[in-house]
Homo-oligomer: A and B are copies of this chain.
Amino acid sequence: MTRARELGIRIGELEPGPLDAITDVGGVRVGHETLWEGDEVRTGVTVVVPPELPCFAGADRLNGNGELTGLEWLRESGLLTSQIGLTNTYSVGVVHDAIVAVRVREGTDLWHLPVVGETYDGFLNDIQGMHVRAEHLEAALAAAADGPVEEGCVGSGTGMICHGFKGGIGTASRRAGDWTVGVLVQANHGRRSRLTIDGVPLGRELGPERIPAPGIPEGAGSIIVAAATDAPLLPHQCERLARRAALGIGRTGGAGENSSGDLALCFSTGNRALGAAEGVVGVSMLPNEAIDPLFYATIEATEEAIVNALLAAETTTGRAGRVVHRLDPDALVEVMRRYGRL
């Protein structure tokens, strides 16, 4: 597993946190459960778990050909009230109900509106087999941990395809003054020819004649972005950060294609104990005037998380013998050098 920084790629102006991962935001945990069975099962579940629920959050849609359940309540209340579950398109329901069951056991509110996102892995995975079960969500939750985050063909990223290369889970972070922004993506979007890394037209240089392309409609797929920050942001400010994820997607060559579900949410860990139902609650707010570094951090971390997803993924054979090739790091380095980088 190679990461962008290990190759010397430096996206943007800000420095990453120690792990260059969403877990650089204190208390955030990530868990994966990978389903890799026989020739046809290439899927899984990934969870992102805030240190405390509820927390302030906001969401944004670059293109809506996807599902991220729970957004009506997240936007209305300004709160994220469940762990974030990620999976494939046909397993949204089972993961949704599994989170409900977990929340019931945890003895929280009467009703539950979990946040579950998806992208489509049916090219490599037997998606119609609906192999994801409630136990897989529970296993991902049980595995949720801080520290380094496994990337690439893991958890819900197992069967994903990004810009015509093997895609999956990626993460990155940025320091923005006193604060940290961390991003995790499930990258399953984009056309090969439009891929740019740190501004270099990788996709044009590494066409299908150099690295074979999967035989799927280009631009299909989707990307889900989960962003976290320890800056004390109010809900509308979280939404502003979520909207900047689109710029990171765009800088890497994404366009929010029609068949893509490009949805982002951002939560803040900077305010705690928001669950109180009585009295007036004291909360902290970063003034809007100080928010620009967080915008830059979100853009840069999203961009790098996508690159990390590409670099970590391995060439994968799946359903019907289909093969999706990884973005070869050596080829990447060669092109980057030719364009005056590295």
Contacts and interface: CB of A to CB of B under 8 A. Distances in A.
Interface of A: 13, 61-79, 89-98, 100-101, 104, 110-113, 120, 122, 128, 130, 193-194, 196, 198-201, 219-220, 232, 234-237, 240, 243-244, 246-251, 254-259, 261, 263, 274, 276-292, 295-296, 299, 338-341
Nearest to A132: B97
Contact of A287 (B62, B89, B122, B276): B276
A198 B62 CA distance: 22
Contacts of A198: 199
A292 B76 contact: no
Contacts of A341: 339
Contact of A72 (B64, B76, B96, B338): B64
Contact of A261 (B73, B274, B277, B339): B73
Contacts of A338: 340
Contacts of A90: 97, 100, 104, 112
A74 B65 CA distance: 9
* Top 3 A-B residue pairs of the complex, sorted by shortest distance between their CB atoms: A199-B199, A64-B76, A247-B250
Copies in the complex: 4
Contact of A256 (B94, B112, B290, B295): B295
B130 A291 contact: no
Interface on chain A toward B: helix, strand, loop, or mixed SS?
mixed
Given A104-B128, A251-B251, A283 B280 contact: no
Interface centre among A243, A299, A340, by most chain B C-beta atoms within 10 angstroms, is: A340
Contacts of A94: 93-94, 97
A40 to B, nearest CB: 16
A304 to B, nearest CB: 15
Contacts of A240: 63, 76
Nearest to A100: B90
A69 B307 CA distance: 30
Nearest to A75: B64
A72 B260 CA distance: 11
A282 B282 contact: yes
A335 to B, nearest CB: 9
A109 to B, nearest CB: 9
A118 B289 CA distance: 20
A224 to B, nearest CB: 11
Contacts of A288: 77-79, 258
Contacts of A263: 72
Contacts of A69: 67, 69, 92
A57 to B, nearest CB: 11
B280 A285 contact: yes
Contacts of A285: 280-283
Given A244-B255, A289-B277, A66 B71 contact: no
Given A69-B69, A278-B290, 8 more contacts: A65-B73, A65-B76, A68-B72, A71-B72, A234-B234, A244-B255, A255-B295, A277-B287
Query: For A64, A89, A286, which residue has the most chain B Cβ atoms within 10 angstroms?
Result: A64
Nearest to A74: B64
